[in-house]
Amino acid sequence: EPEVTQTPSHQVTQMGQEVILRCVPISNHLYFYWYRQILGQKVEFLVSFYNNEISEKSEIFDDQFSVERPDGSNFTLKIRSTKLEDSAMYFCASSVRGMVQYFGAGTRLSVL
């Protein structure tokens, strides 16, 4: 069964460093998303991406965040200068038509 894959599963970084979280969405999907989940809290929307551009973003997704689809298969989330409060699980999701979204297993980001 096709699935969304994310790498790495765990990323440890120093505050102020740049990180790139990687995702391979399901191959025939057209809509791509990033969400995050701080430990013990609900899943929060960060950004949606369609037709090679950001279609919607939340207040969390500030200038420190960016997304890219560098080729036909990868979808990345970059945080330019990480802060302690960026520590969370980051989930990538993809969807065929913007309805049912299928999530990856997530990347745990730990900012020290």
Partner 1 sequence: GESVGLHLPTLSVQEGDNSIINCAYSNSASDYFIWYKQESGKGPQFIIDIRSNMDKRQGQRVTVLLNKTVKHLSLQIAATQPGDSAVYFCAENSLGGGTSYGKLTFGQGTILTVHP
- Site for partner 1 (CB under 8 A): which residue of 11, 106, 109, 111? 106
User: Is residue 103 near partner 1 by the rule CB under 8 A?
Assistant: yes
- Site for partner 1 (CB under 8 A): which residue of 11, 79, 104, 111? 104
Tell me whether residue 45 or residue 65 sits nearer to partner 1 (CB atom). 45
Q: Catalogue the E-assigned strands of the chain.
A: 5-7, 10-13, 19-24, 31-37, 44-50, 53-57, 65-68, 75-79, 88-95, 102-103, 107-111
User: Is residue 43 near partner 1 by the rule CB under 8 A?
Assistant: yes
Cα–Cα distance, 30 to 83 (Å, whole number): 31
Nearest Cα to 44, choosing from 55, 36, 54, 33?
Answer: 36
Tell me which residues touch partner 1 (CB under 8 A).
4, 6, 31, 33, 35, 41-45, 48, 50, 55-56, 58, 91, 93, 95, 98-106
